[in-house]
Structure 1
Amino acid sequence: MGVQGHHSVGGAVSKNAGRLIAAGAAVALILLCWVAAAGALPRGIVAERYVEGLANPTAMTIAPSGDILVTEKGGEVRLVRDGNLVAGPVVRFSPTVKGQAGLLGIDVFDDFAESGRFIVAYTPASDPTRIWLSRARMTPEGGEVLEDPWKVLPNNPDSDRNYAGRVEVADGHIYVGLGDLGRHNEAQSTRRLPGSILRYNLDGTVPADNPFGTAVYAYGFRNPQGFETVGDGTLWVVDSGETEHDEISRVVAGGNYGWPVVIGHCDNYPLTEVCDETSLLDPHYEFRWQTRVTGVAGYREGLMPALRGSVFVTGRRYGELHRLVSTADGRRLELAVPFFVLPGSEPQAGLVDVKVGTDGALYVLVGDTPAGQILRIAPREDVLDQNAILEEGTELRPADTPVCTVSQVDAAVPWSQGALLVICLVLLVWALRRREVPRAVTICACLLAVLTLWSAKVHAQEARWGVKAGANVATVSGDDVVTASLAPGVTAGVASRFEFNEYLAVAPELIYAWKGTGIDSVDDRHLSHHLTLPVFMEGRLNFGWIEPRLTAGPAATLVLSARTGDQIMTDRLNRWGFAVAGGLGADFGFGSGMMTVDARFERGLTEVYDDRATPHYIRTPENYNNVAYLLVGYLF
């Protein structure tokens, strides 16, 4: 042959194996995207910009007249009337604005039409150890503060998170959601207030029928961000989890919702004996990725009758409005197709509240930005201003359009894994007959990686994208290896990461590598150009300024070109192939993203040479590529 020991990455898969792979991919796609028409949304519902000009809005309430009162984090209560933001505040409070602190929640009293009275919750600048409930009222001239404070709740001056502070006036009582204030264990106390839903009479006294003789009505919450009372008297609450496991629950008197003993559903918790504790209540739905739930609204009747009975939840992390529907037995909620996703023009913005208007439309509050606004979601024919319709991501899917939804993927993944197992068994039988076990195992690993990547895309609480570059050193192992020297090459590419939680992530990459190797029997170096698509599973630890990682996974490879001196070698090599790779890495926080460093080793599983391109009377050595990489990068 003249030259042996050339290195390259590539592989030849038989025609039958190729057909099996194609069939397996088709089966997986069908299973993952199988959606009944009932899961889609009605035709022609759009979102329009209703009001703009709000500064970091945090919550809103809709009066019987249709007026909307909005709280701004800096302390002002603003009035929206007939689609216009009234100049100047109704009233102004003086809150501490730090982290989650500020003007937090608002609701109107039942007699608002006559009295103009409403209640707010905020963290006062004058007393950082407390959260104040204050009462005010609207007047023809604007508004006035009546009692400030009216009621005083505890706070933790050493923490700037988990305040909650949403309020709801319903059934002749005032409900207040109080976060755990960073004091996690107090959420399991019925005598202490943090981590609880509090219930007061309208005069501020504790109702005689409260279950524990205190203001605590239900407990075991981390950060209850939103309330809604629906027509049958059901009080829904959304509770923001620590890194994921956001919850929506129906509040019952005396209920213990688990935090910090249980996060999410009981059977998710590693301490299985907790699941035998019948006093802990499971949520009606658990988001198994972090959406940072903020508001909740039940849709009873109005412009969109097909949505009757739906529960809507806003999330600030990805700007999503989720629609949930009751299961057949009425005991749980399940996620329908995502209802609305905020266009990406304002990446810092999130959805912080949702209400059903007196006109039957949905009103969504966009906060976490100085350019806050209210969106109105309604049928196209009921839009108030056609020019205000958002151009991106607003036309909801018609009922005959198939889509993939989170809940349907949850159901499809086990079936997909079963189909994948059958495909792998067929491939292994083929491999045993062809003596191609490493290749078949790698094909199965790649199929599993694709399924895992799909699951990661659906369930990831955070996705990052970036670039990587560095150096590589390549060599060859196997028969008759005559490689005498190693020469460094260069590597560059794009990277992504889908984080399930703070410990586990999936990280696909697309890497170009220019590689070189010195050959004993040839004066010229052997040079080759490759594309590699690895899909890594990453296990991570967090030590503050540094996050070390362990990575491992399969890789598909393609030889772009190869030559030894002036001799073109590309046609003699297996162009496509498979490999396994693994190594160590570390992340360092830098700006809004992170710097990455990776040291990894890649072991080829496909022979370098293509038997079909070599005359039968010449023995083809069984050689395999080995490559070591040192890479640095940045993930945004």
Structure 2
Amino acid sequence: MKAFTLSLLALALISTSCKKSKSNGTVDLPNAELKTRVVTSALTLPWEIIYGPDNQLWVTERSGKISRVNPETGVITPLLTISEVVSNGEGGLLGMALNPAFSTNPWVYVVYNYGSTYREKVVRYTYTNGTLNSPFVILDGIPASSIHNGSRLLITADQKLLITTGDASNAPNAQDLNSLSGKILRVNLDGSIPADNPTAGSRVWSFGHRNPQGLVEANGKIYSSEHGPNNDDEVNIIQKGRNYGWPNVEGYCNETNEKGFCTTNNVVEPIVAWTPTIATCGLTYYNSDYIPQWKNSLLLVNLKASKLIQLKLNDAGTQVAESTDFLVNAFGRLRAICQSPEGKIYIATSNGNQDRIIEIAK
């Protein structure tokens, strides 16, 4: 385990709020001095990281491994390797969610790709005596591909499971309400279809998505980050039954050939978009007093641009008021992010060799 004395903000883009650096390489900001520390560098292509109710970091790796990592010591405790997982291209074992009522029902949900014809399924395990057992299939038969599999999971405040799916290399399916591709799906925790979904008997909550890989609930809203093609990576506010445009619309409704489709199909525009793309990925909402500069912000990690972005929201949580970059090229590709109850941030890299979990703390 290697510790870094450089502060997080020393690695940020120049900001008017920065004061003079101390001799030890840290940077003072009003109310905080932040540092990074490598918790472990013994992972290979981690995809999800969750701060669990046991004060351990729960991690998936694309090869099929699920582990717990001690955030203080970096010790990795394997829980399960799912032998059915097939890691093809960007596929493999991907998202994970823990039941918020973990002490009552210690359920762990994962989504992964499998099979020679390559499909995707969501499976619920039960955590007992340090192991994951009793697999229960929540949803199967989701189209998969070597790219564009979505696969972020989120259990919402109303006890529903949201599942992001990519277009699985078949872009028109994102507009097809009979396809599970290019959607955000919503099911009950047992996999059944909620009665208040937009269309009776359908798992589809929203559609017209290319490859959403970030998902968080805050301010009574669902925020999602999504990969664009060569342009228009996005962050969206997800609304019930709404169309997000792909493949007919890329980013905002600002091109002549997009405007008519947007009007006719009631397309929701992103709250922020990036061209050229940065490969938006894991997303969390920060509102802790531990790092006051980050309050009421979305924290977004990305792959291609290799940085963490703070998206400061307006008071209503409906717009991005300010954007600041951190950790630019400091740790390579960043895949996932989570936070502890105390307010520390943990991020996971996706470089393919000696991948790391990094702690951001005061």
Tell me whether the two structures share a fold, i.e. TM-score over 0.5.
Answer: yes
Letter in 1 for 2:203: A
Is 2:210 aligned against 1:227?
Answer: no
Instruction: After TM superposition, give the deviation of residue 152 of structure 1 in Å.
Output: 0.4
Instruction: After TM superposition, give the deviation of residue 342 of structure 1 in Å.
Output: 3.8
- SS in structure 1 at match of 2:173: helix
Question: Judging changes above 3 Å, is the alpha-carbon distance between structure 1 residues 334 and 99 closer, same or farther for their aligned structure 2 residues?
Answer: farther
Is 2:102 aligned against 1:112?
Answer: yes
Is 2:150 aligned against 1:161?
Answer: no
Partner residue in 1 for 2:175: 188
Match of 1:267 among 243, 254, 260: 254
Letter in 1 for 2:57: I
Alignment partners' CA distance in 1, 2:76 and 2:258: 55
Question: Judging changes above 3 Å, is the alpha-carbon distance between structure 1 residues 242 and 106 closer, same or farther for their aligned structure 2 residues?
Answer: same
For residues 555-582 of structure 1, the C-alpha deviation after alignment (integer angstroms, 9 at most, x for no partner) is: xxxxxxxxxxxxxxxxxxxxxxxxxxxx
Match of 2:360 among 373, 377, 380: 377
Match of 1:197 among 184, 188, 197: 184
For residues 575-598 of structure 1, the C-alpha deviation after alignment (integer angstroms, 9 at most, x for no partner) is: xxxxxxxxxxxxxxxxxxxxxxxx
- SS in structure 2 at match of 1:113: coil
Instruction: After TM superposition, give the deviation of residue 189 of structure 1 in Å.
Output: 2.0
More helix by share: 1
Partner residue in 2 for 1:146: 134
- SS in structure 2 at match of 1:306: helix
Instruction: After TM superposition, give the deviation of residue 46 of structure 1 in Å.
Output: 2.0
Instruction: After TM superposition, give the deviation of residue 37 of structure 1 in Å.
Output: 4.8
For residues 590-624 of structure 1, the C-alpha deviation after alignment (integer angstroms, 9 at most, x for no partner) is: xxxxxxxxxxxxxxxxxxxxxxxxxxxxxxxxxxx
Partner residue in 2 for 1:70: 59
- SS in structure 1 at match of 2:260: helix
Identity of aligned residues (%): 25
CA contact (8 A) 1:64 1:358 kept: no
Partner residue in 2 for 1:243: 230
Task: Report matched runs for 1:12-161 at 5 Å.
Answer: 37=17, 42=30, 44-94=33-83, 95-124=85-114, 126=115, 128-140=117-129, 142-147=130-135, 149-156=137-144, 159-161=145-147
- SS in structure 2 at match of 1:123: strand
- SS in structure 1 at match of 2:324: coil
Instruction: After TM superposition, give the deviation of residue 206 of structure 1 in Å.
Output: 0.5
CA contact (8 A) 1:53 1:85 kept: no
Root-mean-square deviation (Å): 2.4
CA contact (8 A) 2:86 2:92 kept: yes
Alignment partners' CA distance in 1, 2:102 and 2:329: 32
Question: Judging changes above 3 Å, is the alpha-carbon distance between structure 1 residues 302 and 35 closer, same or farther for their aligned structure 2 residues?
Answer: closer
Partner residue in 1 for 2:7: none
- SS in structure 1 at match of 2:60: strand
For residues 363-395 of structure 1, the C-alpha deviation after alignment (integer angstroms, 9 at most, x for no partner) is: 11112322111111122xxxxxxxxxxxxxxxx
Match of 1:321 among 308, 311, 331: 308
Instruction: After TM superposition, give the deviation of residue 278 of structure 1 in Å.
Output: 6.1
Task: Report matched runs for 1:261-300 at 5 Å.
Answer: 261-268=248-255, 270-277=257-264, 279-300=266-287
Q: Which has the larger radius of gyration?
A: 1
Alignment partners' CA distance in 1, 2:49 and 2:255: 34
Partner residue in 1 for 2:198: 211
Task: Report matched runs for 1:540-579 at 5 Å.
Answer: none
Letter in 1 for 2:336: D
CA contact (8 A) 2:126 2:135 kept: no
Question: Judging changes above 3 Å, is the alpha-carbon distance between structure 1 residues 168 and 321 closer, same or farther for their aligned structure 2 residues?
Answer: same
Question: Judging changes above 3 Å, is the alpha-carbon distance between structure 1 residues 137 and 34 closer, same or farther for their aligned structure 2 residues?
Answer: closer
For residues 513-538 of structure 1, the C-alpha deviation after alignment (integer angstroms, 9 at most, x for no partner) is: xxxxxxxxxxxxxxxxxxxxxxxxxx
Alignment partners' CA distance in 2, 1:163 and 1:34: 35
CA contact (8 A) 1:292 1:316 kept: yes
Alignment partners' CA distance in 2, 1:359 and 1:369: 30
For residues 20-68 of structure 1, the C-alpha deviation after alignment (integer angstroms, 9 at most, x for no partner) is: xxxxxxxxxxxxx997659x96552222112221121111122233221
- SS in structure 1 at match of 2:100: coil
For residues 209-236 of structure 1, the C-alpha deviation after alignment (integer angstroms, 9 at most, x for no partner) is: 0002200001110001111112x33211
Question: Judging changes above 3 Å, is the alpha-carbon distance between structure 1 residues 85 and 270 closer, same or farther for their aligned structure 2 residues?
Answer: same
Question: Judging changes above 3 Å, is the alpha-carbon distance between structure 1 residues 329 and 198 closer, same or farther for their aligned structure 2 residues?
Answer: closer
Letter in 2 for 1:320: K
Task: Report matched runs for 1:400-549 at 5 Å.
Answer: none
Report the count of equivalent residues: 337
Instruction: After TM superposition, give the deviation of residue 88 of structure 1 in Å.
Output: 4.6
Question: Judging changes above 3 Å, is the alpha-carbon distance between structure 1 residues 188 and 88 closer, same or farther for their aligned structure 2 residues?
Answer: same
Alignment partners' CA distance in 2, 1:215 and 1:332: 28
CA contact (8 A) 2:57 2:71 kept: no
Letter in 2 for 1:219: F
Instruction: After TM superposition, give the deviation of residue 284 of structure 1 in Å.
Output: 1.0
Letter in 1 for 2:94: L
CA contact (8 A) 1:285 1:334 kept: no
If the length of structure 2 is used for normalisation, what is the TM-score? Answer: 0.86
Partner residue in 2 for 1:355: 338
Letter in 2 for 1:377: I
Structure 1 residue ranges without an equivalent (≥5): 1-32, 380-636
For residues 474-515 of structure 1, the C-alpha deviation after alignment (integer angstroms, 9 at most, x for no partner) is: xxxxxxxxxxxxxxxxxxxxxxxxxxxxxxxxxxxxxxxxxx
Alignment partners' CA distance in 2, 1:75 and 1:62: 19
Question: Judging changes above 3 Å, is the alpha-carbon distance between structure 1 residues 88 and 377 closer, same or farther for their aligned structure 2 residues?
Answer: closer
For residues 327-384 of structure 1, the C-alpha deviation after alignment (integer angstroms, 9 at most, x for no partner) is: 477532144221222426xxxx4100111212211111112322111111122xxxxx
Instruction: After TM superposition, give the deviation of residue 127 of structure 1 in Å.
Output: 5.3
Alignment partners' CA distance in 1, 2:134 and 2:15: 54
- SS in structure 2 at match of 1:187: helix
